[in-house]
Amino acid sequence: MILVRQHTHNPSALRSTTGLVQFEMGVSRAISPAFISSVFALSKENKLIGGYLWVVIMALICLAGISPTLRIPNVPE
């Protein structure tokens, strides 16, 4: 949210952008537990990667979440 506030100059655009960010956060918080629980059950039941497929998927999701932060420019305050 701090990055949204720093990079949005128009107050109207800030409201819209904040709404989109809040929506995305809510959707991901609603879907994530069901998704990873299903992957966990599937990997344990079928012994995918020794039952640890869920760990690989969680690591990939974390890396996908970190990768956009690497493109944020350093702006001195």
Q: Which two tokens stand for residue 56?
A: 């690989």
**Measured distance CA(10)–CA(17) in Å, rounded:** 10
Average pLDDT over residues 12-29: 91
Question: Is this structure's pTM higher than 0.75?
Answer: no
Q: What contacts 61, CB < 8 A, 6 or more positions away?
A: none
pLDDT at 55: 95
Rounded to an integer, what distance in angstroms lies between the CA atom of residue 23 and that of residue 20? 5
At residue 71 the predicted structure's pLDDT band, cuts being 50, 70 and 90, is confident
pLDDT tens for 22-54 read 999 999 999 999 999 999 999 999 999 999 999
- Structure tokens that stand for 29 in this block: 């918080």
What rounded mean pLDDT belongs to the chain?
A: 89
pLDDT of 1 over the 70 cut: no
Where in the chain are the domains? Answer: 2-71
Least confident segment among 6-10, 24-28, 41-45, 68-72: 6-10
Contact yes or no for 22/29 (Cβ under 8 A): no
